[in-house]
Chains A and B, each alone.
Chain A
């Protein structure tokens, strides 16, 4: 998963005063709210200082502990994130968001059985959350639980539609698995929905190009991949798009075009090596 996706997950709006926060705000709550605003604005150091202040005032303030975990994950300190989330969950066992992030950090660390356990618990606490379903599906797929993963992806999409949380990643996680399974029809449907949802993201165009190549339409595949290459938002790398273009142009007999994109990959590799 790319850093952009990580930040998108971490920046997802935290519902105000969730679960235990139904109780009157504690001494540190104002500092926490300031920290949360700073986090959303990308001012991580200031946010960290504010969350520290919140926890000094109230060491068991679950939303502040959860925010501290998000800051730690953004800084790639998963050990700190885990510890904060464990404290947050101990302080407020009904916090689905802390539980979701707990599962998410296990997923990010590739600790898949632990991720599944935590994400299933998060889903019990909030069955309407689409993101918990998405990451549960991803963890299941990584462990080879293909049928479960597909079902969970479909549920994530459904929940996303109902809650207005539907995003491209939910649709494309499902479409990618369907492509692997050879269900090209449903794969096409999910990609089309993703294209409508985010026409300016390269990811759905890339997936569309993959499917077109797989189903034998090299020319249309190249066209989609060329569009993808012009788009800057998304998780798919330039290298991936160039390689798809190599394959599509080779299949279509346009060797010079293919060679041009192969050269682009070599140039990327060289830059990265240096």
Chain B
């Protein structure tokens, strides 16, 4: 007899942003979803399966909400799920530290009457801050099971699974004022829909919201609700929803006060303490010195390091010269001075001393002192990174470190190994020998061959860069550092018609523009979303591009990097400023919850990096191959004595040679650039290595390709988010703009006769 399969029950996860819904989702289903210490990571719902005994469940992960009365697009998604999916069970995931906010959602959720579970996640952080919660009282009040977890360490998983199997219908403990209660009762006698919540929606409502309510409740209930609303307004001159919200707030204040206790915590804000002023000043000075050394070194300017090391070197050299016995003298010389020349040093003691004095003493020592004093490493770091005086130098240091890691370790060392050694020596030449001459051989290993070009670009040039960037990015993401940038950047973003919150999609754009364009949903107004999308498409290079750009320009000089970054940034600000004036609409207020700094979990970082690399291989590599195929065909098909590619080169010649002063071969690169910006950049990389491009030309080409249209995938996402018309408008603006800027930069650099070496 076949077993009767019971229907899969639906479990919906809801909760505040950044409380670990996705970690719980992973815990329940084993599916991989992106997890970060970053509010707004989840913008789309994910679904997974869970099997408990004979019962199967479908688990749905949703974007974070602050309230079930939605304020932004991503919050609407979650409310949509709750109203439409007919869930059998709602699991509310909560940050145990913030009980009051948690219960706001709980009290709204219980109005649905769906069985619910409250998961108090991050219990470790709550305990560390001395917070105790009366979970039994909570469970009795709302009629839901309360489960304490530390999801990232899988603590509490078993209890959660038990609770899922035994979940019951909740209680709505909210008592409304008599008039409001009556009004809602008249509208919703049998209590089939969340009346209080719907009334709040109505009160918060613009026209759009009223349509939403109708969609969710059905015309009949919506009409009853509006009647109740209007009657109430006539009788009391108040909005019904406002009254419900006030009642709810008063109730929650009371509950939170009763059920939560807090012991004194031991945390001392060392940076805010007067006795630490000395260390704080030292730290700031140290960070500035560090930046000066790094940037100045790249530009071959005198820096404190070169000066100090030079002085020490000369005086020691003079002293050493006085020593007897030449052999002894040479020994001492090599030990102390190493091989010091022109700002570079080679493991001598003296340069090490200089390095120590300029980096370890002013930077490491004050940081260590502050952290020891505060007795809480991460919280103190959280404070240092959000203040302007320490935050900005720290930002520059972080950028420099990422630059070193991606630009040198990734783009120089690893690319060198893969491209020159693996592909260049061991793969391509033998392949060329084996391959028959003719079309097939060319197809595999020719100039536009699938392996010699497609795979070389994808695996040997872009992959190492992308991988190193993903590692750095995942670390920063999980540490909670990135959101702090929005605090630093709010005032700048405001000039561009955005607010600090828009830093998040911008920074995510450095990972992948496609994802970031979707993340613009966390922005509140349409104007902000449009501007952010435009800027992402225009000038925020994705990780692959960024890496290639860093790689190429690091191969040139620090000056080249600075010019490329400077021009692109200034164009972003300029276009942002202009579009903030041209695009109508308003900028929403900047109110932003800052996640705490956490020590990144190595496992999550590796998992995330691994998944991103896999994603890259799956998404981007095929495109690389298609692109190569397209070039191959263009190169082979002859029309009127010339190949199509040559025709394109000839067609683009006025622009390329006339405006940008680039060689005609660059045309192929721009054709690739249409497909993926990083593909185009990789083409430039090879051209500049092969010496086809001068440094100046490389700088110009990099700027143009960075400002150029984004990849095909992100164009499709723009169409999806903003509509075809706006997507075409954005593209139509960007292409001539990129070429114009490139032309101007080229002209300025040539006129000023700027040299790169």
Determine if chain A interacts with chain B.
no
Q: Which residues of A contact B (CB under 8 A)?
A: none
- Which B residues fall within an 8 A CB radius of A? none
